[in-house]
A and B are shown apart, each in its own frame.
Chain A
Amino acid sequence: MTAEQRGATPAREGRNMLGHFLGLMGKTVFTALVLAFFVIPVLWLVFAPFDAHPSLNVKLPEFTFNNFKVLLANPNAIGSLGNSLILALGSMVLVLVLGSLASYSLSRVRIPGRDVLLYTLLLLSSIITGTAAMVPTFLLMVKLGLIDSQFGVILVLSGGILPTVIFILKDFMDSTPKSYEESARLYGARPLRILWDVVIPLARPGLATIAVWAVVQVWGNFLVPYILLRSPSKSPAAVVMYTFYTEGGQPNLALISAFSLLFSVPVIAMYFFVNRRYGFRFHGGIKS
C-alpha cells in the first residue's frame, strides 16, 4: 500500500471536514426535531393549568391559580383522584403481600415444576391482557356481583400484574445472599420471622421498584375501571377525565387542565424518584 492510496490528501481532508460538518448538522437538526415532537404536545399541560383563560391552543398563560380553585370546588374531580388512590394503593398492598410470599417460596424451595410455573405465569400475564379478556372478565364480575365495586377492580388489576411482580421479585430474592437467613435460622427464627426481619429489608430496593411500578400501572389504567364501574362517584380519575371532555357541551378547560396536571404529577414524580434512586431495570413485560 502506498501513501496515496490511503491517508491525508488535501481532497480527503476537505471531504473529512465536510462530513464532520454534515454529521454535526444532522445531529443537531434531528435532536431539535425529536425535542419538538415530544415537547409540543405536553406544553399545554404546563401552561394551560395556570392560564386565566385556557383554550385548546398552547399559549403563554395569564398567570392564575384560579383553575385549581375550580378543581377543588368540584367534588366529582377531587373524589375521583381519591378513588384512583384507593385503587392504586389497594392493588399495591395486595400484590406486594401476595407477591413477596409467593416469590420467596419460589426462590427458596424447589417446588416441582417451578420453572414451568414461572414461565407459564409470565406467558399468561402477557397474553391475557385487559383488552383480550374484557368480555369474560366483565361476565365473571357480573356473576360474582362485583360490578361497580372498587374491590372487584382491585382484584382484577392485581390478578393481571401479579405474575410479573412474582417474576421480578423472585429475581431480587434470588440475588439476596442466603447466609443472612442461615444465620437468623441458627438463632432460632421461624420462616415468617426470617422473611419479615431479614429478607424483606434486604429486598427493599426491589419491593420499592415493584410498589411504584404497581401504582403507576393502576393509576393510569382506563379500561378495567371503565368496564367494571358504573357510578361516577366510584370512578377513578382516568375514567372521569375522559367523561369531562366527551360528554356533551363545551369542555370546561379550566377544570380539565388543572385536573390533568394534578393527575399526572404523582406518577411522574414517583417514576423519576425510582429511576434516580435505583436506576432503570428491564424485565420482561414491565409495562403492559
Chain B
Amino acid sequence: MADDGDVAGLGKARATAFLAPALLLISVFLVFPALWTLYLGVTNFRLSGSAARNPKFVGLDNYINALSDDRFLNSLGLTIVFVFASAVVGQSVLGFSIAWTMTRVRKPVRAVVEFFVLLAWIIPSSVTTFLWYALLDRSNGTLNAMLSTGHMAWLLQYPLQSIIVFNTWVGTAFSMLLFSSALASVPPSQMESARMVGAGTWAQLRDVVFPHIRGHALTNTLLITLWTFNTFTPYLLTAGGPDDRSNILPIFIYRLALNDGALGQGAAISLIMIVINLVIATVYLRLLKERKS
C-alpha cells in the first residue's frame, strides 16, 4: 500500500514516542531476563555463599551436568509423557469429541456442557488444585467414595497420572472452543452432499470434517503443547513428588534454582526450555503466516 494510513498525522517521531514506554517495559522485564539466562547458564552462580558474590565462568559445565544428570533426564521424560498424554491426547481428543457431539444435541444441553467445561478453565489455579486435592484425598475424597476404592492415596500412588487427568480437565475448554468454531466453518452443504450419497458419520468425518479442520487441529496442538509444557500449576497438587515422580521441568527448575539455590544450573535448564518453546512457537507462527497469505 502506498498510503501508510497515518490518518491522525502522528508522524514517525510521535509514533516512536507512543511506542517507547511499552517497548521499554517489555525489554526490561521480558527480553532482558531471557538474554541474561544465556549468561547465567555458563556460570556457577548460586543463591547464597561465595558463588553468589563472585560467580565464576564454568563454560558448558552446567549443560553437561544437566544432560548427564539422572534427575534432569527423569524430569524431561516425565514432561514428555505429561505433555503428550494431557495435551496432545487428552485435551485435543476430548475437546474435539465434545465439540463434535455438541453440534448434535439440543441447545440447552450444549450450553450446560460448555459452561462446565469452561468453568474448569477459568477458575483460578490455586482453587482448582484444591478442588482436586479434595477430590483425590485419601480418607475423605469424593473419588474414593464414588469408586469404593477405600483409602486409595491417588496423589501418592499415581502422581503423574493424577496431574495428567487434572491438566486435561483444566485445559480441554480451549480445544473445545477452537474445534467448535472450526466445525462451524465447515460448509453445511458439504456435509449434506456427503449425506446425500449415503456417507455415514465416520465417512463424513474422514472426507469432509477432518480435511477442513486440519489447520485448526495443528494450531490447537501447538498452542496447548506450548502451554502444557510451561505450566507450573501441578506444583500446587503434588509439588513434584513423591520421589520426583511428578517432577516436570517447570517444577524441577523451581526446586533446583530457588529451593536449592543452584541458579546457574537452573538457568541452563531454563535455556533448554526456552529453546524448545522457540521451536514450537516458530512452527506455529510460520503456519499462522502461511494461512494469512
Contacts and interface: CB of A to CB of B under 8 A. Distances in A.
A124 B34 contact: yes
B205 to A, nearest CB: 13
Main secondary structure of the interface of B (DSSP, over half): helix
A45 B119 CA distance: 11
Interface string B246-258: 0001100110011
Nearest to B118: A271
B7 interface: yes
Nearest to B120: A38
Contacts of A138: 257-258
B25 A126 contact: no
Contact of B140 (A23, A55, A133): A55
B28 interface: yes
Contacts of B128: 41
A248 B18 CA distance: 50
B141 A57 contact: yes
A101 interface: yes
Interface stretch (A65-73, A153-161, A202-210): A153-161
Contacts of A223: 232
The size bracket of the interface on A is: 35 or more
A191 to B, nearest CB: 5
A230 interface: no
Given A126-B226, A163-B30, A185 B120 contact: no
A3 interface: no
A156 B200 CA distance: 53
Interface string A34-47: 11011111111100
Interface in B229-255: 230-233, 236, 249-250, 253-254
A152 to B, nearest CB: 9
B144 to A, nearest CB: 9
B12 A44 contact: no
B196 interface: no
Contacts of B141: 56-57
Given A135-B257, A160-B30, A222-B232, 17 more contacts: A38-B119, A41-B131, A45-B123, A56-B142, A58-B142, A98-B22, A123-B278, A126-B226, A127-B34, A132-B253, A136-B37, A166-B22, A216-B122, A239-B126, A268-B123, A271-B122, A288-B227
The 5 closest A-B pairs by CB, nearest first: A159-B29, A220-B124, A127-B277, A105-B15, A136-B33
